[in-house]
Amino acid sequence: MSKLTSARPDSPVFLTLKELAELLRVKPRTIYDWVANERKTGIPVERAGGSLRFRLDKILQWTEGRGQKCESA
């Protein structure tokens, strides 16, 4: 996985699809499926020049929210 630092302390850290898949320990295809069903999954994604990018801070918030939903179900 690449170094998860940004050029400036106040700028967000972006992950590629492959980096996100490694971080969440899922297959890249799973990430594609989540993005395809973005309205249902709520995964925070940004598109840049045809590429998918994921802000680390928003992904961490998203995973915490999903964990709470799973616990209450």
Delimit the domains of the chain by residue range: 14-72
Over the chain (73 residues), what is each successive 10-residue block's mean pLDDT? Answer: 62 95 97 96 94 96 75 41
Q: What's the pLDDT score for residue 23?
A: 96
| Cα–Cα separations (whole angstroms), residue 36 to 29, 31, 39 | 10, 9, 8
Q: Provide the whole-model pTM.
A: 0.77
Region 14-72: CATH code: 1.10.10
Q: Tell me the C-alpha distance between 41 and 36, whole Å.
A: 9
What per-residue confidence (pLDDT) applies to 27? 97
Tokens linked to 29: 């295809």
**pLDDT for the residue 38:** 93
pLDDT for the residue 35: 97
